Amino acid sequence: MTLMVACMAVVGSWAQDSVAVRHTSLDSMQYLSQVVVYAQKPYSEVIPAQVLSGKVLEGLNSHSVADAIRYFSGVQLKDYGGVGGLKTVDVRSMGSNHMGVFYDGIQLGNAQNGQVDLGKFSLDNIDEISLYHGQKSDIFQSAKDFGSAGNLYLRTRRPKFESGKRDNLNVTMRTGSFGLANPSVRWEHKLSRSLSLLANAEYTYATGQYHFRYRKLFSDKTVAWDTTAVRKNGDIRAWRVEGGLFGVVPNGRWMWKLYYYDSEKGIPGAIVNNVWKHAQRQWDRNFFTQANYQQRLTDRYSLMVNAKYARDYLRYLNPDTTLMYVDNEFWQDELYVSTANKYTILPDWDVNLSVDYQWNHLNATLTNFSYPTRHTLLSALATAYTWRRLKVQASGLFTLVNDRHTTRNGAEVLAHHSNTRTKVTPAVFVSYQPWLEHDLNVRAFYKRIFRMPTFNDLYYTDIGNSNLRPEYATQYNVGAQYQLFTEHGALSAVKLTVDGYYNKITDKIIAIPKGSGLYRWTMMNVGTVKIRGVDATVRMSFKLPREILLDANLSYTYQRAQDYSDPTDNQYGGTYKGQIAYIPWHSGSFIGHARWRDLELNYSFIYVGERYQNSSNIPVNHEQPWYTHDISASYVLHMGATRLKAAVEVNNLFNQYYDVIANYPMPGRNFKVTLKFDL
């Protein structure tokens, strides 16, 4: 019994929840009705992820996934403003299209433009967000997981039941600034010992109207104008419905999910040429169903199977005839199947073979559209080996892509085209622990990967270029991680990480003017970008008297991301060796979380340093740094079997006016009130 109490004290040092234990005599048998231990998972990954989960994720004052991942190091978020504004992520300056986004282990795709709008994904049903540079340190995964320069994993909630319970019900209501009304409901039902059901629905409404200050300076720093206005046409109405079945089989588990998102929103547009209001609208309907099955069939062999079907609809309307009347509709279909096969050769040596097939098709109402279809075959062979304190992983990814497109003029078929590309790309990851008695790990990785041009890059009417080559990314990373757990003093745990990296993007796909018309562009492979950077994070946990728990997370990023596309463009105003658009030299964040019994306080801070609107680093393109402070407080009230949580949030506490993207002003100070009922 003494040994058990000692072990519990050690592993509980990293606990997010703690229980005060009254020291009593152990000369008789002691009975504990239930013991739940929260502890840091032992270090096992070659390249660990950045993770937001649990209380930290819940206390971030974030409405969507996009808002939450701003706190990761090395991440730049492109946010066009408003509750429903487009939000995409760029990791280590390699571009949004080099980032894979996975929802419960299966990638979210967009063959049309390669962009995954993270603003569509609410945190209401998200349990954990993790970010991996290079790829996830687990060879037992689909070939898709090996196919990006970095991966973002969104893990949704799984049903969990206390002893004797068969149902869990959560009802949440949020309201606040911008006319926000955001109710949601989540129901979990235990059908049997091995089968459970989850259903979740959410509605979001907001007017999107907020005051902003618009200030512009001439090159000599004199004020061009300084005014305050109201942001218009940022309204949104959106439904999200999600359901799933979760099953357990001997030595394995399976999951089936259904997802539907339906929204109509205004597009506020850029404030240029003294135009303050826009009328563009966008409609989205996104549906997918997916399934995952994994099982250890023998002591040496494990199998995983993934399958998915998705259909996306997009309508974009620009009724402004003074520019160009546009009313376009797009339909995307995707079919995906994958199998992963892991075999243990020796206790410390595993190999995995993954094979994926994906089919994509795009239909549109554009004139002379190409109606493309893409067949993608991926095969990854990976191995992982551990020798004492050395861990090594290596993989090779074979990719075959076949594009077929047909150009029509009305009902007449003008031409059929087919193009096939094959590529093999490698990756190597190494981690070493120099001293057994110290939890210090040094790591390094090399990876070469590419991304295919999107359907818009290749086939968009009068813009696409069907001769585009893939865009390559080469990554080098060296870093270290140190963890310390202690029972002495207030500090109970500390975790430090630092990584230096060099990335090179070649054959970068960019848009260049075509002829003299401002609305005529074409896509070309003419870009080269070199990125040198450092990411650093610090995480600390404290245990103070009177049951007070504190957590602090600090992240910092330095990046020098330069455009090496055209060495001749090196005169004043040129782009050669210029810092690429919207990449700051310095950025960082801080998250503080305090808990005392059922009361929680959260504080978060984000800083983005100076940057430029494009690679021409001249004063007229300069963007000032911006930062925001957010605070929140919550309290949990227990009323029998019912748990009520009330939270109040204040975002952008000091009412700073700023743009993430030039001419797209962000909201000032805003508020939110949340009530959650758990039954």
Copy the structure tokens of residue 443.
Answer: 């790591």
Q: Are the CB atoms for 118 and 79 separated by under 8 Å?
A: no
Phi, psi of 513, deg, nearest 5: -60, 145
For residue 123, name the pLDDT band (cuts at 50, 70, 90).
confident
Q: Are the CB atoms for 47 and 100 separated by under 8 Å?
A: no
Q: What is the pLDDT of residue 556?
A: 95
Side chain identity at 442, as an amino acid letter? V
Question: What is the rounded CA–CA span in Å between residue 331 and residue 10?
Answer: 55
Q: What is the bridge-based pairing of β-strands 75-79 and 87-91?
A: antiparallel
Strand partners, 259: 242, 288
Copy the structure tokens of residue 238.
Answer: 């959106």
pLDDT at 41 over 70: no
Q: Average pLDDT of 544-571? A: 91
| Tens-place pLDDT, residues 293-341 | 999 999 999 999 999 999 999 999 988 877 778 899 999 999 999 999 9
Contacts of 629-633 spanning 24+ positions with Cβ under 8 A: 629/603, 629/604, 629/605, 629/653, 629/654, 630/60, 630/61, 630/602, 630/603, 630/604, 630/605, 631/61, 631/601, 631/602, 631/603, 631/604, 632/59, 632/61, 632/601, 632/602, 633/599, 633/600, 633/601, 633/602
| Tens-place pLDDT, residues 448-497 | 999 999 888 888 876 778 788 899 999 999 999 999 988 777 888 999 99
pTM: 0.87
Is the pLDDT higher at 594 or at 488?
594
Residue from 341, 301, 337, 288 nearest 141 by CA:
341
For residue 396, name the pLDDT band (cuts at 50, 70, 90).
very high
Lowest mean pLDDT among 37-51, 100-114, 219-233, 253-267: 37-51
Residue from 239, 261, 236, 128 nearest 183 by CA:
239
Lowest mean pLDDT among 97-106, 108-117, 574-583, 596-605: 108-117
Question: What is the rounded CA–CA span in Å between residue 26 and residue 513?
Answer: 81
Question: What is the rounded CA–CA span in Å between residue 71 and residue 593?
Answer: 14
Which residues, including other chains, have CB under 8 Å from residue 605's CB and lie 6 or more apart?
589, 590, 591, 627, 628, 629, 630
Could you list the beta-strand ranges (E) of 138-194. 150-156, 167-176, 180-192
Which residues, including other chains, have CB under 8 Å from residue 301's CB and lie 6 or more apart?
341, 342, 343, 344
pLDDT at 8 over 70: no
pLDDT at 31 over 70: no
CA dihedral over 568, 574, 577, 581, signed as positive or negative:
negative
Summary mean pLDDT of the chain: 86
pLDDT at 350 over 90: yes
Question: What is the rounded CA–CA span in Å between residue 438 and residue 659?
Answer: 44
Q: What is the pLDDT of residue 22?
A: 38
CATH, domain 2-678, list 2.60.120.10, 2.40.170.20, 3.40.50.300, 3.30.450.40: 2.40.170.20
Question: What is the rounded CA–CA span in Å between residue 259 and residue 507?
Answer: 36
- Which helix (H) or strand (E) segment holds residue 162: the answer is none
Q: Are the CB atoms for 511 and 464 separated by under 8 Å?
A: no
For residue 411, name the pLDDT band (cuts at 50, 70, 90).
low
Lowest mean pLDDT among 372-386, 551-565, 650-664: 650-664
Copy the structure tokens of residue 578.
Answer: 């210029």
Phi, psi of 67, deg, nearest 5: -65, -35
Residue from 671, 666, 633 nearest 651 by CA:
671
pLDDT at 40 over 60: no
Q: Where are the domains of the chain?
A: 2-678
Tell me the three state secondary structure of residue 650.
strand
Q: What is the pLDDT of residue 413?
A: 61
Q: What is the pLDDT of residue 213?
A: 82
Side chain identity at 259, as an amino acid letter? Y
Strand partners, 380: 354, 397
For residue 415, name the pLDDT band (cuts at 50, 70, 90).
low
pLDDT at 499 over 70: yes
CA dihedral over 362, 363, 365, 367, signed as positive or negative:
positive
- Which helix (H) or strand (E) segment holds residue 66: the answer is helix 65-68
Q: What is the pLDDT of residue 38?
A: 40
pLDDT at 443 over 50: yes
Question: What is the rounded CA–CA span in Å between residue 144 and residue 382?
Answer: 13
Q: What is the bridge-based pairing of β-strands 99-103 and 106-107?
A: antiparallel
Q: What is the dihedral of CA 601, 667, 236, 121, to 10 degrees?
A: -50
Question: What is the rounded CA–CA span in Å between residue 561 and residue 95?
Answer: 11
pLDDT at 39 over 50: no
Side chain identity at 340, as an amino acid letter? A
Q: What is the pLDDT of residue 37?
A: 44
Tell me the three state secondary structure of residue 3.
helix
Q: Are the CB atoms for 421 and 400 separated by under 8 Å?
A: yes
Length of the chain: 679
Q: What is the CA radius of gyration of the chain?
A: 26
Is the pLDDT higher at 412 or at 105?
105
Q: Average pLDDT of 373-390? A: 95
Q: Average pLDDT of 238-260? A: 96
Q: Residues 123, 126, 128, CA angle at the centre, nearest 5°?
A: 120
pLDDT at 447 over 80: yes
Question: What is the rounded CA–CA span in Å between residue 403 and residue 374?
Answer: 5
Q: What is the pLDDT of residue 414?
A: 61
Q: What is the dihedral of CA 460, 464, 466, 468, to 10 degrees?
A: -130
| Tens-place pLDDT, residues 189-199 | 999 999 999 99
For residue 378, name the pLDDT band (cuts at 50, 70, 90).
very high
Q: Are the CB atoms for 187 and 198 separated by under 8 Å?
A: yes
pLDDT at 18 over 50: no
Tell me the three state secondary structure of residue 146.
helix
For residue 279, name the pLDDT band (cuts at 50, 70, 90).
confident
Q: Which single residue is written with the structure tokens 């300076």?
A: 217
- Number of CB atoms found within 10 A of residue 69's CB: 23
Copy the structure tokens of residue 483.
Answer: 């963890």
Which residues, including other chains, have CB under 8 Å from residue 161's CB and lie 6 or more apart?
168, 188, 190, 196
Residue from 253, 252, 282, 279 nearest 268 by CA:
279
Residue from 676, 666, 665 nearest 643 by CA:
676
Q: Average pLDDT of 332-359? A: 97
Q: What is the pLDDT of residue 512?
A: 67
Residue 55 DSSP class: H
| Tens-place pLDDT, residues 417-435 | 788 999 999 999 999 999 9
Q: Are the CB atoms for 350 and 383 separated by under 8 Å?
A: yes
